[in-house]
Amino acid sequence: MRRSDYLPVAGEEKNLGADFVNTDARSNESIPMKNMYTDEGSPLYPRLGPYFTDGRRRVDYVLAYQIQKPNSIRRQSSKFSDNNFIRRLRRSMSMRSSRAPLQPKEDPEIAAQKQRTDYHEDDKRFRREEFEENLLETGLELEKDEGSKIPGIGFLKIHAPWDVLCREAEFMKLKMPTKKVYEVKQGSNLVEKIRLFIHKVTTPLHPKVDANRPQSVKSLSHPFSREKQHLFDLSDRDTFFDSKTRNSIVYEVLKRTRCTRAKYSMGITSLLANGVYTSAYPLHDGDIEGVNAEPNDRKLLYEQWASYSVFYKYQPIGLIRKYFGEKVGLYFAWLGVYTQMLIPAAIVGVIVFLYGCATVDDNIPSMEICDPRNNITMCPLCDHACSYWKLVTACGTARASHLFDNPATVFFSIFMALWAVLFMEHWKRRQMRLNYIWDLTGFGEEEEEEHKDHNRAEYEFRVMQKTMKQEHSTPKDEKVKLTCTDRMPAYLTTVVMMSFMILVTFAIVFGVILYRISIKAALHMSNYPVARSNIRATVKTTAAIINLIVIIIMDEIYGAIARWLNTLEVPKTDKSYEERLIFKTFVLKFVNAFTPIVYLAFFRGRLVGRPGNYLYVVGSYRMEECAHAGCLMELCIQLCITMLGKQLIQNNLFEIGIPKLKKLLRRRKSDMEEEVNKSLQRHEKDHILGPFVGLSPEYMEMIIQFGMVTLFVASFPLAPLFALLNNIIEIRLDAKKFVMELRRPIAAKAKDIGIWYNLLRGLSKVAVIVNAFVISFTSDFIPRLVYQYMYSLDGTMHGFVNHTLSYFNVSDFQPGTDPLQPMHLGYKVDVCRYKDYREPPSSSAPYELSKEFWAVLAARLAFVVVFQNVVMLMSDFVDWLIPDIPKDISLQIHKEKILMVELFMKEEQGKRLAARDNHNQDNCTSLPSANQSPAQPRSRPATHAVFWEKKRKEREANVAPVYNM
């Protein structure tokens, strides 16, 4: 164990006071100052930079922990040598033994509590020391800083030297660029020419990064190997492994290193969970603003990505991947493709909306409703409190409904279904291109091998508990693991809790329904004319706002419940944990967001009954009806308020406000002034930042938005426009949060976006069915077609409104349900109208469903079947037509394989020629002596060498094509 690598912070060693005076001369040894300063006496690197105090070794990772010091101890950094540790331990034991007895004024229970706290802190310290000793044995270099300006926090800075980086890079099979470079030829087909043309036209929109790097040249990459170091460009060892790679290498070492002093083996995740360390994080490259802000990747990201002044530019995806890793880079690449694809969808949606605005005056059904000459008296909308009303009062709602319910809506639904398929195909091609550029081809198999043995700390703890219980009944050779039987209680709890929470969501929606029913009746009974004149608008808007507030609150509750249920199941690996958590959270949040919308689209107005035989719930509450123009307008209002509210409040306001509030609280808690904060070191500044909690919340909000854009787009053509405007802000918000507000995440490799792609594909398939039902059953598109081609006398829409209204004799009202003010309109009403296809009171089967109803129902179902199959067929055709891998990328991947084979064949040939030359040189320089035996080996004849060289070339010519496939 190399104690020389375990160093204190130079310049921070001070006397500890009279009680802690160390008489040993060796305790005053410090780091040689010649390593910290140049010949002129200036520091090699800034004091605030991410380096050890010698100014040379870069800090690759930081572990933070709680420290407790007496008030007499000032800022210092502890020296960790064996003799010092023993002396400190003896001194603490002697101080405890010579401690004065408790004074009568002190409560014995409080003193015992303090003693237990001391033991607990000592236990944590012993575990830290053992873990740090094990880290030293792996070759890492450590430096402690317990004199930081953040009270009560100590830091362990970790540096990975060159030999450790090489060793771990070989273990992890990291692909590194070799000296071999080749020219990347662009594709010659029409699609690639169009792509290159667009790239040239949009040159001003590209961020100013990697300006000196030629785009047409790429280095050939190969998994790093210490035996083949000559293949790689190691001229600058400081930059060969960038900071992202160094951080991931150290993290792998931390995961693998164990602490066995506890009852069970503990890795870094267990130590963090048990509070031995409070946090672990890699450091940002440097500052963004201020006098110490030297050029670095973080500052470049802030200027070219996280600033609102560059909102119109493309994202520097390559630099994002270089700084944050492939997983974060793929998220922002996907978000960029999604936002880019929203542009044509938003343009078409605006055109559809403008078409509705332009044709609203030519819409015959709305003109008939607004015509005051049509003296149509409608039946009451509620029992007893509501009275009869004129159809002409629904003129405004009818005209507004036409903006979203017109023939262009069907076209837009088909367009959005194909748009979803094109978006998925475009992303697959973009993802494949990024895999090639980032050298991730063939990464899937390596990932499975790398992570199959990395179990989560909670899983290992449960296995340890099970092992202790079955210590005598289980054979020693049998490996203990958690089975389905062990997890059965957790699975049952998950099913029960998720079912219960879904029922809670239904109950909340039902509560909002009761609110709408009751508030409508209350407003009808109101004496204020203003309240009575805006009943529909008031009820719709307030109910939608209540739904939004409930959705936002329940989202947070459902997220916490999903995490709790996932913890109960004890998944084995991090990947399993993440996928299960995503699925549970998605189900709960999807149901929470879309249940009110589904009710308005498919259930409201269909479970009402008819006048004289209404359906009642919870006693006397009559189920609510749709407006005469249909429920599409109310569905549009609900979608608009929910979508805008979630984006403005939950996504943007929370993402801006909550991180800033937490950061402010952390600064207040640490009692640091602004001037002190500016002088903090890099690891102290990053400790104040918020911890990185993963990409799941970012993906989740975008998936819910994607559902709102595609599922009910037939009722709200402006949804893509709102999503586009939100995402333009969302990209910069997320960028600013990652660069400035959060600690730097661990650079994780990923080949794709994982389970999120399956959720997107599932939503795009469901969207076709949902939009078919919205057009068929929620809008009046099908009834209008049926009337125009089956019942219209002149083939126009004249008379459509009268055709959809049935008659009701007011004498057939149930007792107690007739209006309190029957003369509200100024005349006696004998017959009122309601929207339905039913027989008149004078027929042989009064109030029964008419043949028109069954004709319209058959047409609705036929439209659903035809629409679904046609759109699905077109989607599958588009999917088949566009290949997943761009042709130029597949050619370049094939070219890389050929170049790699040539590189290794050339290397092997060079080794054989060098070995043969050395062998011939040895044979030529050694003269035969008189005592040499005739049987002594001699060099091969030239004819044999020519023969074997010819055979070797023939073998290489036959073998090489096998590797090129």
Per-residue pLDDT reduced to its tens digit, 862-921: 999 999 899 889 888 888 888 878 777 788 888 888 887 887 787 777 777 777 777 666
The pLDDT tens digits of the residues spanning 304-353 come to 898 888 888 889 998 999 999 999 999 999 999 999 999 999 999 999 99
C-alpha–C-alpha distance, residues 292 and 287, integer Å: 7
End-to-end CA distance of the chain: 48
Q: Which residues contact 642 (CB under 8 A, 6 or more apart)?
A: 544, 547, 548, 551, 593, 596, 597, 708
pLDDT at 469: 72
Instruction: Find the range with the poorest average confidence among 269-278, 474-483, 545-554, 629-638.
Output: 474-483
Which residues on neighbouring strands pair with residue 390, listed in sequence order?
377
Write the CA distances from 308 to 191, 734, 801, integer angstroms: 32, 11, 51
Q: Which residue has the tokens 């030629």?
A: 214
Task: Tell me the whole-structure pTM to 2 decimals.
Answer: 0.81
**746: helix, strand or coil:** coil
pLDDT at 22: 35
User: Token pair for residue 937?
Assistant: 């080996």
| pLDDT at residue 41 greater than cutoff 50 | no
Write the CA distances from 66 to 128, 135, 437, 664, integer angstroms: 11, 19, 43, 20
The Cα diameter of the chain in Å comes to: 143
Q: How crowded is residue 590: how many other Cβ atoms within 10 Å of its Cβ?
A: 18
Secondary structure of 599-634 as H, E, C letters: HHHHHCCCCCEECCEECEECCCEECCCCCCCCCHHH
| pLDDT at residue 946 greater than cutoff 90 | no
Q: Which residue has the tokens 């957790």?
A: 490
Q: How crowded is residue 593: how many other Cβ atoms within 10 Å of its Cβ?
A: 23
Amino acid of residue 306 = A
The upper half-sphere exposure of residue 508, i.e. CA atoms within 13 Å in the direction of its Cβ, equals: 24
Concatenating the DSSP letter of every residue in 751-776 gives: SS-THHHHHHHHHHHHHHHHHHHIII
In angstroms and rounded to an integer, the radius of gyration of the C-alpha atoms of the chain is 37
Could you tell me how far CA 491 lies from the centroid of its own chain? 25
C-alpha–C-alpha distance, residues 517 and 539, integer Å: 9
Q: Name the phi and psi angles at 879, rounded to 5.
A: -65, -40
The pLDDT tens digits of the residues spanning 520-545 come to 877 777 666 666 666 777 788 888 88
Q: Which residue has the tokens 């597949």?
A: 890
Q: Are 271 and 259 in contact (CB under 8 A)?
A: yes
C-alpha–C-alpha distance, residues 800 and 837, integer Å: 12
Arithmetic mean of pLDDT, 270-284: 87
Instruction: Find the range with the poorest average confidence among 85-89, 573-577, 618-622, 809-813.
Output: 85-89
pLDDT at 18: 34
Instruction: Find the range with the poorest average confidence among 26-30, 52-56, 221-225, 623-627.
Output: 26-30
